[in-house]
Chain A
Amino acid sequence: MSKISVIIEREYITRVRKKSFIIMTLLAPLLMAAVIVVPTLLMTNQDTEMKKIAVIEDKSDLFKNVIPNLKNTEFVYLENTRFEDLKNNFEQAGYYGVLYISPEVINVPEAVQMISRKQPPITLLEHIERSLEKEIERQKLLTYKIENLDEIMKNVRSKVSVQTIKLDSTGSVKQTSTGISMALAYINSFLIYILVFVFGSQVMRGVIEEKTSRVVEVIISSAKPVELMMGKIIGLALVGLTQFLIWIILTFGIVTVVKSSVFPKENVKTAVQSAPQDLMTRSMNIPQEQAEQITQQANNISPEFAKIFDSALNQPWGLIIFSFIFYFISGYLLYASIFAAIGSAVDNETETQQFMLPITIPIIFGLFVAMSTMQNPESSIAFWFSLIPFTSPIVMMARIPFGVPGWQLALSMVVLAATFVGFVWMAAKIYRTGILMYGKKTSWQEIWKWLRYKG
C-alpha cells in the first residue's frame, strides 16, 4: 500500500507542476468568467446610458406620445420641427437618435426611419416597432367603427407563460424549469465526457511513455504491475479532481470580484436580471445564506427571474453531486483501465489506433444519446443507454436533472460498478504481460492470450 502511495504521489506532483497544467488551470476559469461577465457587462453598459430620442412626424400627430419611455430611454415628441432641420443640426440637438414617422406608415412598413450615430440595440428597435404596430392596429380597428372598442381590446388581449410543475414521489410540488434542467444535463454529461476522455487518454500516454522509455522494468522490480497501473490511474483522477475544483473556485471568485468592482450597488439589480446564466452558475456553488440573499433580491426585482432561480434551487443538488462523483469515478476507472491496457499493449502512440476506435465509439455515442436524452428523457433509448456501463455515466448524468426512478439509478450504478471491477481486473492482466512485450505488433488474439496467462 505504501508503494502505491509513492506512485500516486509522483503521478500527481509531476503533472500538477507541469506548465501546461498550470496554464490550463488558470486560463480556463478566466475564459469561463469572461463568457459569463462580458455579455453582462455589455448589456448593462448600454442600459446605463440615458438616451433621448426625438420623435418627429410629417404633417400629422397620429403617433403623439404613443411610444412609452423605457428605463434608460426617453422619447421626446417634437411638434413643428422639420426632420431635415434636426438631421442637419444633429450634433447640437444632443439626441441619441431621431425617429421619423411618415404618414404612409399605415400602408408601408418601411416608412419609419431612425437616424443615430451608433447602431441602436435590437431591443430598442423592437420596442419602437411593437409600439407603432400596436398603434397602427388600433387606428385601423377604429376605422371599423366598432362600439366599445377599447373594452373589447382589453378583453381580447392575453398573455401565456407555461409554468412547469414536477410532481415528486412524496407528493410535494416543485416548480421546475426545463431550461435549467437541460442546461444542467448538458453541463453534467459534457463534463463527464471530457474528464473521462482527457484523463483516460493521459493514463494511456503515461503507460506508453513508461514502456517506451523502459522505466517500467525498473519499477516493476520494486512494485507490482497492478500497483503501478492503479497508482497512475488514481494519481490522474486526483489531478482531474484538483483541476475541476480549482476551476469552480476560480470561476466563482473571478465572477464575484468583477461583479462587485464593475457594477455599482444600485446597478446590481440590472446586472442580476440580465445575466440569468451567471446566477445559475453561481447557484451551483454558493453557500445557502448567500443564495437566499440573492433570491430575496431577485424576488424584489422580477417575479419571473425569481421563478427561474427557485427552480434552480429546487434541483436535487445532493443527488446530482453524489451521482456526478460516482459516475465520474466509476466511468473514469472503467475507461482509464482500458486505456492503460491499450497503452501497455503497444510500442508507440501511432499503434494505438486499431484499439482506440472500439473505445471512442461508445464514448462519443454516449454523448449523442445524452444530447437526444435532453429532448426526451423518458425514451427507451435513454433508459437502455443509461444502463449500459460504457455509456451510462454520460447518459445517466443527462437524465438525472429531469428525474430518474430510484431503481433505474441503482441498477445502473450496480451494473457500472460490477463492470469497472471486472475491467480493472482484466486490464491488470493484460497490462502485466503487455508492458514487458516489445517489438511485436500486438493483435486482439495476442491480448486474448495474455488474459489467460496465469501467475
Chain B
Amino acid sequence: MALFEAQNVTKQYGSTLALDRLSISVPAQSIYGLLGPNGAGKTTLIRIINQITGPDSGELFLDGRKLKPSDVADIGYLPEERGLYKKMKVGEQALYFARLKGLTKHEAMRRLKYWFKKLDIVDWWGKKVEELSKGMAQKVQFVTTVLHEPKLIIFDEPFTGFDPVNVNIIKNEILFLRERGATIIFSTHNMGSVEELCDNITLIDHGRSMLEGKVDEIRKSWAGNEYTVTFDEKVRVPENGKFSILESAEEDHKTVIRLKSLTSASTNQIISELMNSGNISAFSPALPSMNDIFLRVVQSKSPEPTR
C-alpha cells in the first residue's frame, strides 16, 4: 500500500513549468529515490510535500487521505541546504525544532537524550552551533529531522558533508528507521547510495517523470543483453557475429570481459562459444549502474529504455 501519493501535480513559477503532471507513489516502509539533474523539479516537489508551497493543480495523499496542513507533524524533512541558528545552543535548538513539530517539552527531552546517546553527541548539548564542524551540525540536524517519529521522512542529499565513517552511521540509521516502519523519500545525485538503499525510484527531468519503478527491475530492464565473464588466465577473446566485446581488462592471472550479445542467442550458447577461449570462472548478466541509466535517460531525453 502506498503511504504517500502524488497525482498529476503541476506547479508553475512565472513562465517556467517546475512540475508537469507529475505522479509518484511511495510504498509504505520503503526507501524511495527521487533522482534527477539540477533544476529538474525535485526540490519543488519536496516543498509541495512539506506544504511549504502548494501545487497549482493535482492532488496529494498521505496514508490514503488527502494531505492536510496538520500532516506536517507526520513528516520529517532534512533539506539539502541545511542550517541551524549559529548562536543557539545545540540542545536548545533541537528542543525548539521538536516543539515546532508538536512534541511537548518533556517528550522532546526524553527522545533527544536517546538520540544524542545513540549518535554519540551528548557532549555537544551545551555547545553553540557555530562551534561545531559541518559534519557535527549535520548529525544534529539529522536528529531533529527524525525526532518526532514521522511516518514520512524526506532526506535531501543526506550524505554530503559527512566523512565515510559517518556516512555509514547515517546509512544504518536510515535503514533502521525503515525497519521501524518509517517511509523514506530520498533525493540524491549519489547513484551508488541509490543502488544500495532505494527500493523504488523516480527519475525526474524538466518536471516530468522519465523513469519509475523498482531499482532491481529497472536495472534488469536496462541490462540490454550484457554479460560479465571472468577467465582465470590471461586470454584474448575473438569477436564474432554473436557478440561484441565492450570492455576487456587483464589483472594478474585473471581476465574480465564485458560483452554484449548481438543475437537472440541463449546464455548457454554464448558460454559454449566462450569456453573455446579459456577457463571460465564466473559468468553473470551485467546490470548497468544507476549512474549509467541516469546519464542515458537524461541525455537522450527518452523515457523508455533502448533495447
Q: A6 at the A/B interface (Cβ < 8 Å)?
A: yes
Q: B117 at the A/B interface (Cβ < 8 Å)?
A: no
Instruction: List the A side residues contacting B278 at CB < 8 Å.
Output: none
Interface residues of B in 68-109 (CB under 8 A from A): 69, 72, 75, 77, 79, 81-88, 96-97, 99-102
Complex Cα gap A14–B87 (Å)? 9
Can you list the 10 inter-chain pairs with the closest CB atoms, starting with the nearest?
A214-B83, A213-B83, A222-B100, A455-B54, A221-B50, A221-B77, A214-B81, A217-B79, A215-B83, A6-B99
Q: Which residues of A contact B88 (CB under 8 A)?
A: 14
B273 part of interface (Cβ distance < 8 Å): no
Q: Which residues from A are CB-within-8-Å of B79?
A: 214, 217-218, 221
Residue from A7, A210, A213, A455 within 8 A of B100 (CB atoms): A7
A224 vs B51: C-alpha distance when bound (angstroms): 9
On whether the beta carbons of A6 and B83 are closer than 8 Å, the reply is no
Q: Does B52 sit within 8 A of A, measured CB to CB?
A: yes
Q: List 14 A-B contacts (CB under 8 A).
A: A7-B100, A214-B81, A214-B82, A215-B83, A215-B85, A217-B81, A217-B82, A218-B82, A220-B52, A221-B51, A221-B52, A223-B100, A436-B53, A438-B81
Contact A213/B86 with A6-B100, A218-B77, A218-B79 known, Cβ cut-off 8 Å: yes
Q: A22 vs B82: C-alpha distance in the bound complex, in angstroms?
A: 31
| Alpha-carbon distance between A214 and B138 when the two chains are bound, in angstroms | 13
- Could you say which residues of chain A place their CB within 8 Å of the CB of B77? 217-218, 221
Please give, as numbers and ranges, the residues of chain B lying within 8 Å of A214 by CB-CB distance: 79, 81-83
In the bound complex, do residue B47 and residue A436 qualify as a contact, i.e. CB atoms below 8 Å apart?
A: yes
Q: Which residue of B lies closest to A213 (CB)?
A: B83
Residues of B within 8 A of A (CB): 14, 47, 50-54, 56, 69, 72, 75, 77, 79, 81-88, 96-97, 99-102, 141, 144
- Assess A218 versus B97: contact at CB under 8 Å? Given A213-B85, A455-B56: yes
Q: Assess the A10–B52 pair: CB atoms within 8 A.
A: no
Contact with B along A212-256 (1 / 0, CB 8 A): 011111111111110000000000000000000000000000000
A221 surroundings in chain B (CB, below 8 A): 50-52, 72, 75, 77, 79
CA distance A438 to B79 in the complex (A): 14
Contacts of A219 in B (CB 8 A): 97, 100
Q: How far is the CB of A249 from chain B (nearest CB, A)?
A: 28
A3 touches B83 (CB 8 A): no
Name A's interface SS.
helix
Q: How far is the CA of A436 from the CA of B18 in the complex (A)?
A: 15
Chain A residue at smallest Cβ distance from B14 = A449
Residues of A that sit less than 8 Å from B by CB: 2-3, 6-7, 10, 14, 209-210, 213-225, 436, 438, 449, 455
- B residues less than 8 Å from A216 (CB atoms): 83
Chain B residue at smallest Cβ distance from A214: B83
A216 to B85, CA, bound (A): 10
Interface of B is mostly: loop
Contact between B84 and A213, CB atoms less than 8 A apart? yes
User: Which residue of chain A lies nearest to B13 when distances are taken between CB atoms in the complex?
Assistant: A453
Beyond the given pairs A14-B87, A217-B81, 15 more chain A to chain B contacts, judged by CB atoms under 8 angstroms and listed by A's residue number, are A6-B96, A6-B99, A210-B83, A214-B79, A217-B79, A217-B83, A218-B83, A221-B50, A221-B72, A221-B75, A222-B100, A222-B101, A223-B100, A436-B52, A438-B81
- A13 nearest CB across to chain B (Å): 9
B93 to chain A, nearest CB (A): 9
Most buried by A among B47, B97, B100, B102: B100
B35 to chain A, nearest CB (A): 21
Query: What is the CB-to-nearest-CB distance from A316 to chain B, in angstroms, rounded to a whole number?
Result: 44
Report if A217-B14 is in contact (Cβ < 8 Å); known contacts: A10-B96, A14-B87, A436-B47. Answer: no
**A6, A209, A216 interface centre (most CB from chain B within 10 Å):** A6
The residues of A that contact B85 with a CB separation of less than 8 Å are 14, 209-210, 213, 215
Which A residues are CB-close (under 8 A) to B81?
214, 217, 438
In the complex, which residues of chain B have a beta carbon less than 8 angstroms from the beta carbon of A6?
96, 99-100
Interface pair B87/A455, CB less than 8 Å apart: no
Q: How far is the CA of A438 from the CA of B144 in the complex (A)?
A: 24
Given contacts A6-B96, A7-B100, A223-B100, contact A218 B144 (CB under 8 A): yes
Nearest Cβ on chain A to B261's Cβ, whole angstroms:
49
Q: Which residues of B contact A209 (CB under 8 A)?
A: 85-86
**A222-B54 contact in complex given A213-B84, A213-B86, A214-B82, C-beta closer than 8 Å:** no
Question: Nearest-CB distance from B4 to chain A (Å)?
Answer: 15
- Flag if B83 contacts A222 (CB, 8 Å): no
Hey, which chain A residues are within 8 Å of B69, CB to CB? 224
Bound state CA distance, A221 and B14, in angstroms? 23
Tell me, rounded to whole Å, the shortest Cβ–Cβ distance linking B106 to chain A: 14
Residues of B within 8 A of A220 (CB): 50, 52
CB nearest neighbor in A for B85: A215
Q: Which residues of B contact A224 (CB under 8 A)?
A: 69
User: For A3, A213, A438, A449, which residue has the most chain B Cβ atoms within 10 angstroms?
Assistant: A213
Chain B residues, CB < 8 A from A436 = 47, 52-53
CA distance A215 to B81 in the complex (A): 9
Smallest CB gap from A211: residue in B: B83
Residues of A within 8 A of B97 (CB): 218-219, 222
Docked pose: A59 CA to B211 CA in angstroms: 121
- The smallest beta-carbon distance between B26 and chain A, in angstroms, is 17
Nearest residue, chain B, Cβ from A223: B100
Query: How many angstroms from the CA of A219 to the CA of B96 in the assembled complex?
Result: 10
CB A301 to nearest CB in B, in angstroms, measures: 53
A14 to B81, CA, bound (A): 24
Minimum Cβ distance to chain B for residue A429 (Å): 13
